[in-house]
Structure 1
């Protein structure tokens, strides 16, 4: 489940993060000027003007008829965050308060529908 900045550079897609006029690209394999920053994680800075595309992606879904973000997965379960904005609905669904106005829950994959990536 993707949630974060994505950059397209030289025909490939990378997890990324903005850094002023540059973007940090991350790769699990390295190569082409990437420097290892951790086991299985390589980074390279690229001027934003050299990118083919740069955007933010979130994975969204519905659960019990309500809209959610997919935050992660573990086995056959998905970690969901409610994006409907109604605390009454959140309480009626049995969601866990995570922060003020933020509600989350672990839901079985089989109960989650309409999973899609949303590009921002």
Structure 2
């Protein structure tokens, strides 16, 4: 489940994060100027003009007929955030209030349909 910035550099896609005029690229394997920052995690800064593409991607799906963002996964469970904007619906689904107007829940993967990635 992807949810975050993606940069395409030298034909490959990397998890990334903006940093002013640069973008930090993250790789599980290193190489090509990447520096290890943790076990299995390497980072390299690249000027934004060197990127072939830079965008935000999130994974979305439907649970019990309502739209959700898929935030993460743990085994056969998905962490979902309601994006329908109706607090009465959120409460009727038994969602947990996370912040003002933000509702989340863990749901079995098998109950979530139409899982797709969206570039935003």
TM-score by length of 1: 0.98
Counterpart position of 2:32: 32
**SS of 1:89's equivalent?**
helix
The residue aligned with 2:12 is: 12
Partner SS, residue 94 of structure 1:
coil
Unaligned runs of 5+ in 1: none
Q: Secondary structure at the match of 1:30?
A: coil
SS in 1 for 2:118: strand
- Distance in 2, matches of 1:86 and 1:26, equals 36
Matched positions, count: 120
CA–CA distance in structure 2, aligned partners of residues 93 and 44 of structure 1: 43
Distance in structure 2 (CA, Å) of the matches to 1:59 and 1:47: 27
Shift of 1:114: 0.4
Write the distance in 1 (CA, Å) between the matches of 2:96 and 2:44. Answer: 38
- Cα distance, 1:99 vs. partner? 1.0
For residue 37 of structure 2, give the secondary structure of its aligned residue in structure 1.
strand
Distance 1:43 1:87 in 2: 40
Aligned Cα root-mean-square deviation (Å): 0.5
1:1-120 aligned within 5 A: 1-120=1-120
Structure 1: distance between partners of 2:42 and 2:77? 29
